[in-house]
Structure 1
């Protein structure tokens, strides 16, 4: 389970949910919350809840541009070293932003060098463009427009060379099924292009909105079942990570139920162990305050609209991620 899935609760809450619901482990989203950045603090959570960190998501979101400094090269290397220290097998990273020219020019080589010197896999994730739909009308209307025209319409990629990582021929990929929905991509075709190099799955769903939805798998239009069946048939031995948006949950019990539904989907369709009959509550019914909640990938619906302003504010082509 991605720790981003419990937003607006914090990293410790994610470990608690994972332990109570029976997840195998967590993918640690490194972002502005101090605990997520602190190796010793994360190790303490692993010991407290008995839940291992199986993957680390590098701080490459726009909202985490100042986490661990402004140098994206150093941040990616630090993410790999953190994964090594935690015994995690994977680091998830996004393609570079277009204005990070030096980083983008050396990105493929850096990823390859990090993998050659470590047991950690660096799996580059598919992303999505900033779509014109996001600036007009209701969010649901963007879904209907996509259906009518049979595609996502006009969009601008903030990523180099594109939001499709297979354009850069990496050794390992992360397939995100919410991002394929937002990009209007054929998820099965992308999985086929990734082939045996698809080693990390972000299991979520989407309807094709102009923003990143991260729905519970099975609640959108993406071929989640078909992708899982494809991976099982191929003998997939990588990591499958539930990365859903639970921001609308009114209570911790409701959030636990959503996380349980996603886990059930994964267990059934990836042929994993038996699902617990009753989801744990994940705490009391009232939401505890959290001064530094972990990032959610769904925040990129806001980020994508801030790309140009962030770029202007940085004043540096090679600066922030």
Structure 2
């Protein structure tokens, strides 16, 4: 996937290549990392994206390698511990944590590391972030795909998710908002070699997902397939249950010979039973399989907009 320079453009494959669909271990929260491997194996996912966070197993290469062997499910990608809730995981130095994430990916056979742009208060990290990402890619076959994020919206402090989504639609954007990321929650502002496109984050940010994909171009190497209605809080709905162009984007990726990975990253915290959580994960996988299937892009789909026939309010 990586060019000869180690951090060049992502090579596109001929049309017809199967896009591998993984499961983010975050998708099974509040269940644990092993549960994610079990769901992935039972439902037929191609692998997992390991979210490194407070759970001890997620931080332990040996323990994760044991899960890979037990469930015969590979680790496709590592999500670096850069969430607010994981600021102390693997220490307090974000530079060292990103380096360790790449080395963990190498050890587990993963080909990608997903990382968020730096927070504004991480000044030293922010100043050297682009250079560090490029240097890590120069020294490794692992790509570092910087993810699009979203601002903190003022309407998040007032009213429900439904009302904030309605306000965003009326305004055509998030309105008054403050970005916690440097230099921006849009990683294309910094011009990295590789990107992760998250469709729940585009919803919360009020961004046009298709235009963002165009800006990312061949650097779009990793997809977090989820959905959102434009609420002020990140929703991570099952794809097809929100207002994002999930099906359209998937067809675009197939049409352009996407050579990266798709990962289901949805919120199943409201599932009352394991059976209900499994059903949600199965629905998301079925959507991905349908719309990322080679040949389906040419024949089209009855819906160009993924959320038109759903109402979750």
Instruction: Give the alignment partner of residue 110 of structure 2, picking from 81, 88, 101.
Output: 88
Given that 1:177 and 1:202 are in contact with CA atoms closer than 8 Å, whether structure 2 keeps it comes out as yes
The 5-angstrom pairing of residues 155-304 of structure 1 reads 155-271=177-293
Q: Which residue in 2 is equivalent to 1:296?
A: none
2:154 aligned with 1:121: no
2:131 aligned with 1:105: no
CA–CA distance in structure 2, aligned partners of residues 133 and 242 of structure 1: 28
Given that 1:266 and 1:272 are in contact with CA atoms closer than 8 Å, whether structure 2 keeps it comes out as no
Q: Shift of residue 5 of structure 1?
A: 0.2
CA–CA distance in structure 2, aligned partners of residues 101 and 173 of structure 1: 22
The 5-angstrom pairing of residues 54-65 of structure 1 reads 54-65=76-87
Which consecutive residues of structure 2, in runs of 5 or more, have no partner in the other structure? 1-22, 296-313
Q: Shift of residue 149 of structure 1?
A: 2.0
| Counterpart secondary structure, 2:131 | helix
Q: Which runs of 4+ in 1 moved over 3 A?
A: none
Larger relative contact order (CA 8 Å, sep ≥ 6): 1
Instruction: Give the alignment partner of residue 131 of structure 1, picking from 122, 137, 153.
Output: 153
Q: Shift of residue 139 of structure 1?
A: 2.0
| Counterpart secondary structure, 1:259 | helix
Q: Which residue in 1 is equivalent to 2:311?
A: none
- For residues 218-245 of structure 1, give each alpha carbon's deviation from its aligned partner in whole angstroms, at most 9, with x where no partner exists: 0000000110011000000100000000
CA–CA distance in structure 2, aligned partners of residues 71 and 135 of structure 1: 31
Which consecutive residues of structure 1, in runs of 5 or more, have no partner in the other structure? 274-321
TM-score by length of 1: 0.84
Given that 1:122 and 1:172 are in contact with CA atoms closer than 8 Å, whether structure 2 keeps it comes out as yes
| Counterpart secondary structure, 1:241 | strand
CA–CA distance in structure 2, aligned partners of residues 196 and 272 of structure 1: 18
Given that 2:194 and 2:219 are in contact with CA atoms closer than 8 Å, whether structure 1 keeps it comes out as yes
| Counterpart secondary structure, 2:180 | coil
| Counterpart secondary structure, 1:56 | strand
2:41 aligned with 1:26: no
Q: Which residue in 1 is equivalent to 2:97?
A: 75
2:170 aligned with 1:148: yes
CA–CA distance in structure 2, aligned partners of residues 134 and 145 of structure 1: 11
Q: Shift of residue 272 of structure 1?
A: 6.3
* Residues paired across the two proteins, number: 273
Given that 1:28 and 1:57 are in contact with CA atoms closer than 8 Å, whether structure 2 keeps it comes out as yes
Given that 1:17 and 1:256 are in contact with CA atoms closer than 8 Å, whether structure 2 keeps it comes out as yes
Given that 2:254 and 2:294 are in contact with CA atoms closer than 8 Å, whether structure 1 keeps it comes out as no
| Counterpart secondary structure, 1:158 | coil
Q: Shift of residue 147 of structure 1?
A: 1.9
CA–CA distance in structure 2, aligned partners of residues 188 and 272 of structure 1: 20
- For residues 238-284 of structure 1, give each alpha carbon's deviation from its aligned partner in whole angstroms, at most 9, with x where no partner exists: 000000000010111110010000000110100069xxxxxxxxxxx
CA–CA distance in structure 2, aligned partners of residues 137 and 254 of structure 1: 28
